[in-house]
């Protein structure tokens, strides 16, 4: 469960965030957040967010949203995403930012940021008070494809009914419409839909992830705040929640949104809590389809008792029909979910990919740690169906 931040704790929250994003290769946001930590007016603005949104991301997204919408201000020149969105060459309009250690550069972007916020205070106050940050990380499909391919292989030819819990904009339900390039040892392997406008790259550190095509009977996304990417404003907000320093991820999200808008694969969206929605949804999935419940980077939002409720709900479903439960979550966030250790004993991993198989004929649920992965899918350590456990 995400912690809530008081006004007093905000300066340290921004400094901590700055250190983290600097490690993640985001010097612009590091410079901005260090500046915000020293600016009481900006901190008061952030404090207007609902308690569960009182975090650096909300003001960063709100400013990015206005810039992507065309707000005219010198700050725009510091954001390569703004140039990219308007089809301009990034280098031509983006302020120089090649020395991330130089204080003047960090000061420069923050000075422009602070001036922008004062010029747009009313619009920002409204966005901060009413919006929630939202992400949908398409890169995770580099782990989902082999994991779903594994499920498909074990479903005795039945097409999958894939239910993505905490689906956000449901971009990952289009996993089979993306092109993949896996770098494996000395070779590369291409998979997915050749020529797709969404091209995902992944370094395979260990193992051989299966990439056979997956037959999908139904695609259902569940979210308490679903994002409709066909709506221009929702799509802009989703893009605004990306970081301007990570132009590659921003471009990927744009391409995935464009693909989803033109896709002929029907995706059903259900608004609501994931456990409650499951209860209503599952009886609508026909028996000829194999039920596959998926969640990626969602359990962090669930308190331990909600994680237990999800586990119990899936166990109840398994008394009525075979079910595969596939999740990719940070191990420290999921104390109440089944989590076998990595078979290679590597211990800590940003994200564990786990498959739990259960059903009326199974003596007990079996959990396999299929893989460890980078949280955005940049690398994969593939174990497959070994290491079954709790
Ligand atoms: C970090 S995003 C991950 C989105 C997507 N699964 C991905 O990997 O890119 C978490 C999503 O879970 C949703 N969520 C969190 N708790 C939920 C709940 N109890 N019921 C339904 N959706 C929930 C949020 O609205 C958000 O869209």
pLDDT in tens, 243-264: 999 999 999 999 999 999 999 9
Spacing, Cα 349 to ligand 1 middle (Å): 21
> What sign results for the dihedral spanned by CA atoms 218, 295, 137, 344?
negative
Token pair 């609902």: residue = 50
Residue 91 — very low, low, confident or very high, per pLDDT cuts 50/70/90? low
- For residues 117 and 145, give the distance between their C-alpha atoms in angstroms, rounded to a whole number: 42
| Ranges of each domain in the chain | 10-130, 138-389
Spacing, Cα 269 to ligand 1 middle (Å): 13
> Quick count: other Cβ atoms within 10 Å of Cβ 149?
18
Q: In the predicted model, is pLDDT for residue 99 greater than 80?
A: no
Residue 346 — very low, low, confident or very high, per pLDDT cuts 50/70/90? low
Ligand 1 probe mutation, 52, 200, 275, 301, most atoms within 8 A of CB: 301
pLDDT tens sequence across 118-157: 999 999 999 999 999 999 999 999 999 999 999 999 998 9
Q: Using an 8 Å Cβ cutoff, are 193 and 252 in contact? A: no
> What integer is the mean pLDDT of 308-336?
96
CA-closest residue to ligand 1 atom 23 = 166
Spacing, Cα 131 to ligand 1 middle (Å): 15
The pLDDT assigned to 260 comes to 97
Please, what's the b/e burial string for 31-62 (b: 16 or more CB within 10 A of its CB; e: otherwise)? Answer: bbbbbbbebeebbebbebbeeebbbbbbbbbb
Residue 374 tokens read as: 């980078």
* β 351-358/323-329 pair status: antiparallel
**Which protein residues are within 6 Å of ligand 1, measured from CB?**
134-137, 140, 166-168, 222-225, 273-274, 296-298, 301-302
CA-closest residue to ligand 1 atom 25 = 225
- For residues 161 and 149, give the distance between their C-alpha atoms in angstroms, rounded to a whole number: 13
Q: Using an 8 Å Cβ cutoff, are 381 and 372 in contact? A: yes
Residue 103 — very low, low, confident or very high, per pLDDT cuts 50/70/90? very low
CA-closest residue to ligand 1 atom 19 = 273
Residue 357 tokens read as: 């198989």
- For residues 229 and 131, give the distance between their C-alpha atoms in angstroms, rounded to a whole number: 16
> What integer is the mean pLDDT of 10-26?
94
The pLDDT assigned to 190 comes to 97
């Amino acid at each position: 469960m995400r912690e809530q931040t008081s006004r007093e704790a905000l300066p340290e929250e921004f400094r901590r965030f700055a250190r983290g994003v600097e490690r993640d290769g985001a010097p612009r946001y590091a410079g901005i957040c260090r500046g915000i930590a020293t600016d009481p007016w900006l901190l008061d603005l952030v404090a207007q967010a609902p308690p569960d949104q009182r975090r650096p991301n909300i003001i960063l997204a709100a400013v990015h949203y206005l810039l992507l919408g065309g707000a005219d201000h010198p700050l725009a020149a510091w954001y390569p995403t703004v140039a990219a969105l308007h089809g301009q060459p990034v280098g031509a309009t983006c302020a120089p930012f090649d020395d991330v250690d130089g204080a003047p550069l960090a000061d420069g972007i923050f000075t422009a940021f602070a001036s922008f916020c004062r010029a747009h205070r009313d619009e920002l106050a409204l966005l901060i008070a009413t919006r929630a940050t939202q992400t949908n990380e398409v890169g995770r499909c580099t782990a989902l494809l082999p994991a779903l391919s594994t499920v498909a292989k074990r479903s005795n030819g039945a097409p999958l009914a894939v239910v993505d819990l905490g689906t956000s904009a449901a971009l990952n339900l289009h996993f089979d419409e993306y092109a993949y390039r896996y770098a494996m040892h000395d070779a590369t392997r291409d998979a997915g839909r050749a020529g797709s406008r969404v091209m995902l790259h992944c370094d395979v550190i260990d193992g051989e992830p299966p990439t056979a095509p997956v037959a999908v009977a139904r695609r259902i996304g569940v979210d308490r705040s679903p994002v409709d990417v066909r709506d221009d404003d929702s799509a802009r907000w989703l893009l605004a929640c990306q970081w301007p320093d990570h132009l590659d991820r921003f471009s990927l999200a744009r391409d995935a949104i464009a693909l989803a808008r033109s896709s002929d694969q029907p995706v059903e969206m259900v608004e609501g809590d994931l456990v409650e929605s499951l209860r209503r949804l599952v009886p609508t999935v026909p028996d000829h389809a194999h039920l596959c419940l998926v969640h990626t980077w969602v359990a962090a939002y669930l308190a331990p008792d909600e994680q237990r409720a999800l586990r119990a709900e899936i166990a109840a479903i398994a008394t009525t029909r075979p079910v595969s439960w596939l999740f990719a979550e940070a191990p420290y966030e999921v104390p109440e979910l089944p989590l076998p250790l990595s078979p290679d004993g590597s211990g800590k991993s940003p994200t564990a990919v786990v498959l739990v198989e259960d059903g009326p004929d199974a003596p007990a649920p079996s959990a396999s740690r299929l893989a460890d992965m980078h949280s955005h899918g940049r690398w994969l350590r593939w174990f497959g169906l070994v290491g079954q456990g709790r």
